[in-house]
Amino acid sequence: MLLNSWLKKLVMIKEHHKCLIIGAGPAGYTAAIYAARAELKPVMYVGMQPGGQLMDTTEVDNFPGYPKGVEGPQMMEDLRAQAERFGTDVRVGVATQVFFNESPKRVLIEDKAEITADTVIIATGATAKWLGLPSEEKLKSGGVSACAVCDGFFYRKQDVAIVGAGDTACEEATYLSKICNKVTMLVRKDSFRASKAMVNRVMNTPNIEVLFNTETIEVLGDQVVEGVKVKNNKTNTENNLIVTGLFIAIGHKPNTDIFKGQLTLDENGYIKTIPGSTNTNIPGVFAAGDVQDHVYRQAVTAAGTGCMAALDAERWLAANPQ
């Protein structure tokens, strides 16, 4: 055991860089584009899911510059190619430990590398919470979505269902009600968790129907969503709802576990940034995208904060020459 540990340390890559980017997706790739153009020579580790949540998205219709839409994975390939064109060193690897209180900052990439950096941009994103149903997993590209704003347009004038009981679920149900024929909210308990204002908005929207004490037990359909099998927890009866889309709005988990104790996080685990910037509580460490944004969670807003993070990093380096 000791010999193996010693050998791992011996072969571990040790490098220093001006700018290290942890995570990919619109935020990470945009940060890389701007950082590379500013001659920061960024190194990016893309993590377990290069491209983030958009790798599970079929058609992206609301990102500027794609008039005919684009598949999520193709969009990520385009952003990666653009980042690499300007010299970004894109690598596969997962950051497993960070030491931001040191100078320079130090990050371990599994047992492969020990990277020190003058600046670090965090773009690890957030992961949507799912129900955990096999049928849900099978139909993620066929009508099951975790973002009504992203995908609701494809279900205009159709009947859809949404799972959730909080403010986000109510907000997304209201959004869908303006596009879809009917929206059925599936609430597992006998009441909402949302604020009173959001509940009133839902209850006063004619084409939203709320089914309390209702649990989703299966998504119906082979290639696309054709319905949802639900169970009433009070009567123990099952029923099939005919819908063409199912939206899961039970929350997101920011990918910030390795930053606990290093960075200031909010009560839900999102990285806190100084308003109007991407600065964290550690000078020289910046956060962009869904890892610090629980409000908008859009590809275009993530890209915007990625741009901000690179500019913030460039300015910080200019003010703090290493």
| Radius of gyration for the alpha carbons in the chain, expressed in angstroms and rounded | 22
Of 118, 151, 159, 293, the active-site residue reads 151
Q: At how many degrees (to 10) do helices 72-85 and 25-37 cross?
A: 20
The residues near 315 (Cβ < 8 Å, ≥ 6 apart) are none
Determine the distance from the C-alpha atom of residue 132 to the mean position of all C-alpha atoms in its chain, rounded to a whole number.
Answer: 18
In sequence order, what E strands does 129-226 have? 144-145, 159-163, 182-186, 208-211, 214-220
Is 61 known to be catalytic?
no
Alpha-carbon torsion 45, 50, 53, 59, what sign? positive
**Phi, psi (degrees; rounded to nearest 5) at 283:** -55, 130
Query: From CA 122, how far away is CA 215, in angstroms rounded?
Result: 36
Residue of 150, 290, 293, 312 with catalytic role:
150
Is residue 147 annotated as a catalytic residue, yes or no? yes
Quick check: helix, strand or coil at residue 168? Answer: helix
Q: Is 268 helix (H, G, I), strand (E, B) or coil?
A: coil
- Could you confirm whether 307 is annotated as catalytic? no
Among the options 19, 118, 147, 159, which is catalytic? 147
- For residue 136, what is the enclosing H or E element? helix 134-138
The answer to whether residues 124 and 309 touch, using CB atoms and an 8 Å cutoff, is: no
Catalytic residues: 147, 150-151
